[in-house]
């Protein structure tokens, strides 16, 4: 009978969980970059790639976070920090669950990204946090401008905008695990680079 | 080559995701009941059962929520509501990811539980929200008292305590999907009841 099972007291360990799910481990793949740098497109393609391989993967982005968990937050400095803190905590839960969590947020401040990283590295057991810098030039982002946001900034309709306004700098990652030259790299090649890294580090199987 | 794949533009649908992961669907299994009613023990055993079957399952409880995502929250009425709201939102993300999310919180207020339910039923596609009432009598909870909390309440060391203090009622679920008489039901039997329900509703395979 399918429901006939003997329980052992206590929690399932992370290693047991991964073993049951035939996963190597859980991890967070943290994409960061300017608006229109291509983060979401790469994140979507990466999620597809992982799911196609039968791996549990899930993407956190503005659509499922800003209108849900973080709908109480605005765009003040304090709220932006809290936004990233919560995303870091939720990605940690997914990584702990043996899922591969792909986050796709500008996350412009090094301190906020470090906080998200530290949540993973100080977790017991430590969980991989892979910072992926989707590095597109401002000129290229402005040329693409799929949502017309840069145009609005130039017309003065948006006051504070990451990478343009003095009060909203984008702090480039100094030592990201993966650096993608997004001006020159196709989505397919970006996913390949990430997949090779994950295989090399033993996070997914070859 | 393992990384050689063609991407299609746009998001993976929930049905595609479930298909890739060989999951029937995602769902939230929301346990509610008094402190010491046995929620966490049943949740832990249920998670083990689901993982043993190779299904992606994850338990949200005080340990991984109160000290992480919700560590900024206290125990005021407003903070308790926000605590449950966030848990509802996170469980929705797990359910959307095709995971079976088991939540284990007192969640004493009907309105808060309804809000969590509504997040799932109004999601596109709607995701199953299964309210599981772990119904132990106050006398039995007080007899078990594994954390010594009821003893502290009786000594006056804890002022406000769900199910005892007038200002902290436990609102019994009126129409839970599953009702467990926790005074008389073993952990094994509770898991069997839940497993049968999940099979009957097509949420997991027989």
Give the model confidence (pLDDT) of A4-30 as tens digits: 566 777 789 999 999 999 899 999 999
Residue B15 lies in a domain: no
Give B154 to chain A, closest Cα distance, Å.
29
User: What is the structure's pLDDT at B8?
Assistant: 73
Q: Which residues of B touch A3 (CB under 8 A)?
A: 49, 191-192, 195-196
* CB atoms A89 and B68 under 8 Å: yes
Residue B93 lies in a domain: yes
Residue B161 lies in a domain: no
User: What is the structure's pLDDT at A1?
Assistant: 39
- Percentage with pLDDT > 70 across chain A: 97
What secondary structure letter does DSSP report for A12? P
CA dist B49 and B195 (Å) reads: 9
Residue B155 lies in a domain: no
User: What is the structure's pLDDT at B83?
Assistant: 96
User: What is the structure's pLDDT at A5?
Assistant: 60
pLDDT tier at A66, thresholds 50, 70, 90: very high
Nearest-by-CA chain B residue for A186: B7
Geometric angle at alpha carbon A90, from A86 and A95, rounded to 5°? 145
* CB atoms B93 and A64 under 8 Å: yes
Give the model confidence (pLDDT) of B101-157 as tens digits: 999 999 999 999 999 999 999 999 999 999 999 999 999 999 999 999 999 999 999
User: What is the structure's pLDDT at B6?
Assistant: 64
CA dist B70 and B79 (Å) reads: 9
Is the Cβ–Cβ distance between A168 and A108 less than 8 Å? yes
Residue A70 lies in a domain: yes
CATH number at residue B30: 3.40.50.300
Tell me what ipTM this predicted complex has.
Answer: 0.95
Give A169 to chain B, closest Cα distance, Å.
26
Domain of residue A75 covers 17-137+168-200
Residue A30 lies in a domain: yes
The beta-carbon neighbor of B195 closest among A3, A94, A119 is: A3
Give A198 to chain B, closest Cα distance, Å.
11
Give the model confidence (pLDDT) of B29-85 as tens digits: 999 999 999 999 999 999 999 999 999 999 999 989 999 999 999 988 899 999 999
Give yes or no: A97 in active site: no
Residue B143 lies in a domain: no
Provide mean pLDDT across the span A161-179: 95
Domain count for chain B: 1
Q: Which residues of B touch A58 (CB under 8 A)?
A: 93, 96-97
Residue B6 lies in a domain: no
């Amino acid at each position: 009978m399918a429901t006939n099972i003997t329980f052992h007291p206590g929690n399932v360990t992370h290693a047991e969980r991964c073993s049951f799910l035939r996963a190597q481990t859980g991890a967070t793949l943290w994409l960061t970059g300017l608006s229109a740098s291509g983060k979401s497109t790469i994140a979507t393609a990466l999620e597809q790639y992982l799911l196609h391989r039968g791996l549990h993967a899930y993407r956190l982005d503005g659509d499922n976070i800003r209108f849900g968990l973080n709908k109480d937050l605005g765009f003040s400095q304090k709220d932006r920090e809290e936004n990233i803190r919560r995303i870091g905590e939720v990605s940690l839960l997914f990584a702990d669950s043996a899922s591969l969590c792909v986050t796709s947020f500008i996350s412009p401040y090094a301190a906020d990204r470090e906080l998200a990283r530290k949540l993973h590295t100080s977790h017991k057991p430590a969980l991989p946090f892979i910072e992926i810098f989707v590095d597109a030039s401002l000129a290229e982002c402005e040329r693409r401008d799929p949502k017309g946001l840069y145009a609005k900034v130039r017309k003065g309709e948006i006051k504070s905008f990451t990478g343009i306004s003095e009060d909203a700098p984008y702090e480039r990652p100094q030592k990201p695990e993966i650096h993608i030259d997004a001006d020159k790299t196709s989505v397919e090649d970006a996913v390949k680079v990430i997949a090779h890294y994950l295989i090399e580090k033993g996070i997914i199987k070859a």
